[in-house]
Structure 1
Amino acid sequence: MTQSPPLAEQVILITGASTGIGAALARRLAQQFLGIRLVLAARNQEKLQAVATDCEKVGAQVLVVATDLAQLEQVKALPQKAIDHFGRVDVLVNNAGYGQMGPMELISPEDAQRQFAVNFHAPLILSQALIPTLREQGGGRIINVSSLGGRVAFPAGGMYSPSKFALEALSDVMRMELGAFNIKVSVIEPGPVTTDFFSVAGGKVDLNIPEAGRKLYRAAIEGIKDIEQQTALLAWSSERVADVIIRALTSRHPRPRYVAATGGKMMLFLMRKLLPTPLVDLFWKRFYKIDQVEKEWKSLAQRVR
């Protein structure tokens, strides 16, 4: 079996690299592994170039590829652009993602499709495109950035948890299928992170929601917008999550999953193993204010009678 080159000599493709975890990972890799080659992909060319400049200042070689991961043709073109430029790709970090939050009933088919396109289909397509290259090179790594929301679903999470659950399952399938080719697959599961995730997600909640639905789920919709403040004390920096990804990249025997959240392992144990489902449901309904929606609906129903 061919030995993988040191990380400093590898080519690493990172999606969602213009901000947040992806940008922090690119900068961390450039600082810690002199001469590393990075392929940075995201929609915003200007922000990508700013990250690239920081990385190049400390000796990294960087290819910037502006890519909308919801556009199939752009996703398909990305791996070949990386290979054409550097001659190889050793690591794929599927980091790009966002949250299409809101009550499931109110998510439009178009918004649901875009959520899965970015959070699930893009990682699938990029992985499929690069697996032959990684296999021919003697191995490589695929890192899928999921979420605690990919292990535990919550109300008013819209299509976010379903898309991340799918990514988790895909990662398990790839890990088992690709181990024979020395392609190691790991999942990173952040909890709250100090990025613009919730502000962006909160802003998207009001889009395409009819007035009747907005009124019915008012408490839950407002609750989503407050989540960032409620979880601020537990939030990790993007750099801290990036360090976990680097740990997965440098380990000779990487774990299938890395929880990147304060108290995350305990939460998963309680929610998935110990507590009865009705109690878990009650917790999440209160946290996301679905209990208030229930109370208001019951009150309205009684008045109608």
Structure 2
Amino acid sequence: MRPPLDSGTVLITGACSGIGREIARQLAHRARTLVLVAHSAERLAGLRAELEVLNPTLGVMLLPCDVSRPGEVGDMLAELSRHFISVDVLVNAAGAGERGLFARQRWGSIERMLLVNVVAPLLLVRRLLGPMLARGRGGILHIGAGAGQLFLPGAATYAASRRCLDGFIESLRLELEGTGIVLTQVAPGPVDGSEPQDDGERQGPQPLFHISAERCAREALAGFERGAALVYPGRAHRWVMTVLPRLPRAVRRALGRRVARDLQERSGAEAALMAEKPLGLVEDIPSLA
């Protein structure tokens, strides 16, 4: 069973950058209509111009929407209904992430991450799945992260948000067996231009594990068309994600503990530097809001 990508209507969140943009580019020659959803109307307009050059017959609908605001997501879906647009394939590619010790992260950043990575995908699937079931055909391609299956000190909330959707997608896939709906989860490692950043400094795995957004999108779509349950883009990342789950939990904790200690030492050094600043700059220290 293959998802209805060819001559279908595909809605893509996070469409103006990273993996979402590359998926839009790779589907431009195949889809009948692309519904592009992202926060930046200007960047969406630029992408539409590019896609129409690739395929002049392609229909492109732009829906600027901040998916961290459930009300805007609801308004965006209502706009689809007003135009009598039925979505054949949903691509959840929007994501948010931030690195840092949990105790030093601002609550606003944590809340936004959960809204983008958990609430928005659930809301979209809930609203679009019913019509797909009624038609007996459809597809959902969820771009998650390998982080959802790892212990990640310094990215605890991000890992939690991805793990939540990992459990949801795997369970929903079983519920949808025999319905004509194809559901695939993609769990990439570091993707250039798409991984969460704190201060712009690249951290985590070595460049060996980094892949381009173009390659990630290509492997994601290939797995989706095969009806794969889970796709790990990139050979090195795929090998690691195959081996790590087989390690005892205690070993995985030990590996994570080394990272946590380094983060704590760095955080302590940063706190000492902040303490030496004039009192007028103390407000620069991240705090819980």
Q: Report if aligned partners of 1:146, 1:168 keep a CA contact under 8 Å in 2.
A: yes
Instruction: State the percentage of identical aligned residues.
Output: 27
Structure-2 separation of matches of 1:227 and 1:191: 12
Displacement after TM superposition at 1:174 (Å): 1.5
Matched, 1:277 2:273: no
Displacement after TM superposition at 1:102 (Å): 1.1
Q: Report if aligned partners of 1:100, 1:158 keep a CA contact under 8 Å in 2.
A: no
- 1:235 maps to a residue whose letter is H
Q: Report if aligned partners of 1:39, 1:82 keep a CA contact under 8 Å in 2.
A: no
Structure-2 separation of matches of 1:50 and 1:295: 40
Q: Report if aligned partners of 1:4, 1:138 keep a CA contact under 8 Å in 2.
A: no
Q: Which runs of 5+ in 2 are unaligned?
A: 269-289
Q: Could you say which residue in structure 1 is the equivalent of 2:103?
A: 105
Structure-1 separation of matches of 2:265 and 2:100: 16
Matched, 1:255 2:228: yes
Describe the SS at the equivalent of 2:193: coil
Structure-2 separation of matches of 1:5 and 1:185: 9
Count of paired positions: 266
Say if 1:296 and 1:111 are closer, same or farther in 2 by CA, change over 3 A. closer
Matched, 1:75 2:73: yes
Matched, 1:39 2:35: yes
Structure-2 separation of matches of 1:86 and 1:192: 38
Structure-1 separation of matches of 2:127 and 2:45: 25
Alignment counterpart, residue 290 of structure 1, candidates 238, 247, 261 = 261
Q: Could you say which residue in structure 2 is the equivalent of 1:87?
A: 85
- 1:109 maps to a residue whose letter is W
Q: Which runs of 5+ in 1 are unaligned?
A: 204-223, 298-305
Q: Report if aligned partners of 2:101, 2:263 keep a CA contact under 8 Å in 1.
A: no
Describe the SS at the equivalent of 2:15: coil
Describe the SS at the equivalent of 1:227: coil
1:215-240 deviations in whole A, cap 9, x for unaligned? Answer: xxxxxxxxx93317x53332111111
Displacement after TM superposition at 1:256 (Å): 0.9
Structure-1 separation of matches of 2:210 and 2:5: 29
Structure-1 separation of matches of 2:75 and 2:92: 15
Say if 1:93 and 1:48 are closer, same or farther in 2 by CA, change over 3 A. same
For normalisation by structure 1, the TM-score amounts to 0.79
Q: Could you say which residue in structure 2 is the equivalent of 1:202?
A: 198
Q: Could you say which residue in structure 2 is the equivalent of 1:159?
A: 157
Q: Report if aligned partners of 1:192, 1:261 keep a CA contact under 8 Å in 2.
A: no
Instruction: Choose between structure 1 and 2 for higher RCO, CA contacts under 8 A separated by at least 6 residues.
Output: 2
Alignment counterpart, residue 220 of structure 2, candidates 215, 220, 245 = 245
Structure-1 separation of matches of 2:39 and 2:110: 19
* Larger helix proportion of the pair: 1
Structure-2 separation of matches of 1:281 and 1:294: 18
Structure-2 separation of matches of 1:52 and 1:114: 27
Describe the SS at the equivalent of 1:115: helix
Alignment counterpart, residue 54 of structure 2, candidates 38, 58, 70 = 58
1:236-281 deviations in whole A, cap 9, x for unaligned? Answer: 1111111122213433xx111011133223322332213x334323
Instruction: Give the 5 Å matches for 1:154-193.
Output: 154-193=152-191
Q: Report if aligned partners of 2:33, 2:59 keep a CA contact under 8 Å in 1.
A: yes
Displacement after TM superposition at 1:76 (Å): 1.5
Structure-2 separation of matches of 1:51 and 1:25: 12
1:32-63 deviations in whole A, cap 9, x for unaligned? Answer: x2x53100101011111111111111222110
